[in-house]
Amino acid sequence: MDDVQQIDVKEIMEQIRERIRKHQQEFFHADPAKALSDGPVAADLASLQSSYDIYHIHFTSHRKGLGRLVVLAKQVLRKLLTPMLERQLAYNIANTHIAYHLCKQVAGVLQQQAATSQALQEIVVEQVEGLYQAVRGMMVEQIEGLGQQQAAAFQTLREAVVEQIEGLGQQQAAAVGALQKALFNSLQHRVNEARDSVTETLQMQQEKFSRTERTLAETLQVQQEKLSRTERTVADADARIVELERLGLRLKTNLSMQERRLTMFLEEARKRLPDPLNQEQLQLMADEERHALDALYVSFEDQFRGSREDIKERLQVYLPILKKARLGTDEMPVLDVGCGRGEWLELLQEQNLRAQGVDVNRVLVGECQRQGLEVIERDVIVYLRTLPDASLGAVTGFHVIEHLPFEVLVKLMDETVRVLKPGGVAIFETPNPENVLVGSYTFYLDPTHRHPLPSAVVKFMAEARGLCRVEVMNLHALEVYRMEEAGLEITKRFNEYFYGPQDYAVVGWKA
C-alpha cells in the first residue's frame, strides 16, 4: 500500500458533483423523445430498418470484361447460402423489433430517470464519499492481487498457446508432407501406367506401319521397274519410228532431187547435143551440185546435233529476251538465219510469236515447210539484202556464224544492223572454244565448221559494226561431270576449262 499515491478526495468529489450538475442541465434541457427520433439512435434505427434484409441484395460489379461473371458468381453463392441467409434475415427482423421495443422503454426510463436523478444525486454523493475510502483500500488490495494473478495466468496462457501452436505446426507439417507424398505416388503411378500404355500402342502402330511401308515399297518398286521397262520400250520404239519416218522422208526427198537432177541433165543433153552447154546451164548444174550433200548433212545433224526436244529446251533461254522487248509481233517480226530443222521457229510458233526462217539446205527447208513453218530456201546474205532498212524486230542465228568465212561474217553483221528496227535485238549462238573439250574436239565433229570463234572476238565485231549493249551469255555447262572442288583453285580451273559452258551467245541491240 505504500507505493499507492495519495488521492485528494475533496477534489474528486467536487469533480463528480460538477459532472452531475452538467448532466442534469443537459438532461433537463433535452427532450428524450426527440433524442430518440433525431439523434444518433434514430439514425441507427433507420439503418437497422433499411439494412435488415440481407437476402434481396442487387449485385453489381465495376469490371467491364469480367463483371457479368462476377455478378453471376455472387448470385450463385447467394443461392448456396440461402438457408443461412434466411436464418440471418429472421434474426435481423427480431433484432429490429426488439430495438424498437427497447427504444420505447428507454424513452420511458429516461423520463423516470429525469425525475429521480435529482434525488439520487445527493444520495450518490454522500454514499460515494463514504464508500470511496473503503473501496479505495479494497481496490488497491484487489488490484495488486489481480495483477499478480493476471501475470501468472498470462504466463501460463502464453506457454499453453505456444505449446499448442508448436504442436499444431508439427501436425500440419506432418499432414502436408504425408499428403504431398501420397499425391506424388498416385500421380507417378498414373503417369507410369499412361506412359506404358502409350509406348505399347506406339510400338504396335509403328510395327504395323513398318510392315505396311515395306509392303508398299516393294510393290511400288516392282511397279516402277515394270513401268520403267515399259517406258523405255515405248520410248525406244517411238524414237525408232520417228527416226525411220524421217529417214524415209529424207530418202524420198533425196530420190526426188536425184530424179530432178537426172531429168534436167537428160533434157539439157538432148537439147544441146552435140552443141556445148552455155553459161546458164553450167550455173544451174553447179547450183544443183551444191545441194548434192544436203541429205547427208541432215543425217549428220540428226546424229550429232541432238533431238528436237533437247534443242527446243535449250533455246527457251532466249524467250524472255524477246518477250521483255515485245518482239515477235507483226510490226517487229523475227528472222532466223540458218534455221536448220526449225526448232527455234517451232518454239516461237508455240508462243504465238511472228517468225520466219531462211536456209540454203533444200532438204531442211522442205521438212520445215511440211511442219507448217514459214521458211525460205535462200542464201542468208542474198536474202537479207532483199529486205528494206529497219524492217525486223530480231535477227537470230544458232550455230551458223562458225560456218562462215570472215568476210561473210562481217557482211552478216552489217546487214543485221541495217535491217533491225530501233530497239531490235541480234542473237548469235556458237560453240565456246574456251571449253577445252569443245575447242579441241567436239567443234571439229562438224566438217563444215571453219574455225572456233572466241566470245571476245564476236562481241568486238558486233560492237564494231553498230550494235550496242552487247552481252555474252555462257550456256550449257556440264555440271554433272564437275569434280568436287574442296576449296582447291586448280580443281576449280579444271572444271571451268573442261566442264564449263559448251556454247555462248552474243546478244546486241539496235540503238
Reported for 307-313, long-range contacts at CB under 8 A and 24+ positions apart, including other chains, are 308/341, 308/343, 308/346, 311/341, 311/343, 312/343, 312/344, 312/346, 312/347
Strands (E), 328-400: 334-337, 355-359, 375-377, 392-398
C-alpha cell read off for 206: 509403328
How much is the pLDDT for 306? 74
* 271-287 pLDDT per residue, tens: 655 555 555 655 555 55
d(CA 402, CA 405): 8
- pLDDT tens-digit map of 310-339: 989 999 999 999 999 999 999 999 999 999
311 by DSSP, 3-state: which?
Answer: helix
Q: What pLDDT score was predicted for residue 77?
A: 78
Q: Distance of CA 348 to CAs 331, 360, 371, 398, 510, Å?
A: 15, 21, 13, 14, 21
Tallying the residues shown for the chain, one arrives at 511
Q: Are 330 and 307 in contact (CB under 8 A)?
A: no
- Name the 3-class secondary structure at 1: coil
Question: Do the beta carbons of residue 34 and residue 110 sit within 8 Å?
Answer: no
- Beta strand 468-477 pairing with 501-509: antiparallel
* Half-sphere CA count of 110, side-chain side, radius 13 A: 19
Residue 213 half-sphere exposure toward CB, CA atoms < 13 A: 6
Here the cell at position 27 is: 438532461
The continuous run of DSSP H or E covering 501 comes out as strand 501-509
- Cα Rg, the chain, nearest whole Å: 61
Collapsed DSSP state (helix, strand, coil) of residue 473: strand
Report yes or no: 397 and 428 within 8 Å, Cβ to Cβ.
yes
User: Would you state the pLDDT for residue 253?
Assistant: 67
For residue 324, give the nearest of 126, 131, 509 by alpha carbon: 509
Measured CA distances, 94 to 57, 81, 166, 411, 456 (Å)? 19, 20, 43, 127, 117
Strand order in the sheet with 334-337: 375-377, 355-359, 334-337, 392-398, 420-431, 501-509, 468-477
DSSP secondary structure string for all residues of 164-208: HHHHHHHHHHHHHHHHHHHHHHHHHHHHHHHHHHHHHHHHHHHHH
Matching residue, cell 444518433:
40
Cell matching residue 280: 546458164
State how far the Cα of 374 lies from the Cα of 379, in Å rounded to an integer: 16
Residue ranges of E strands in 330-432: 334-337, 355-359, 375-377, 392-398, 420-431
The 8 Å CB, 24+ separation contacts for 117-121 are: 117/23, 117/24, 117/27, 118/24, 121/20, 121/24
Instruction: Evaluate the omega torsion of the peptide bond into residue 333 and state whether it is cis, within 30 degrees of 0.
Output: no
pLDDT tens sequence for the chain (511 residues): 444 455 565 676 677 767 766 765 655 555 555 555 666 666 666 766 666 666 666 767 777 667 777 778 777 877 777 777 777 777 777 777 787 777 777 777 777 776 676 666 667 667 666 666 666 777 777 777 777 887 787 788 778 777 877 877 788 778 777 777 877 787 788 778 877 877 887 788 778 777 877 887 787 888 888 787 878 877 777 777 777 667 666 666 665 666 666 666 656 665 655 555 555 655 555 555 555 556 665 665 766 677 889 989 999 999 999 999 999 999 999 999 999 899 999 999 999 999 999 998 888 898 899 999 999 999 999 999 999 999 999 999 999 999 999 999 999 999 999 999 999 999 999 999 999 999 999 999 888 899 999 999 999 999 999 999 999 999 999 888 888 877 788 888 999 999 999 999 999 999 9
**CA dist., res. 366 & res. 470, Å (int):** 34
Q: Give the Cα separation of 469 and 306 in Å (integer).
A: 31
Rounded distance between C-alpha atoms, residue 233 and residue 121, angstroms: 139
Backbone angles phi, psi at 358, to 5 degrees: -140, 135
Three-class SS state of 426: strand
Cα dist. 357→320, 332, 361, 508 in Å?
20, 15, 12, 20
Torsion of CA 90, 94, 100, 102, to 10 degrees: -160
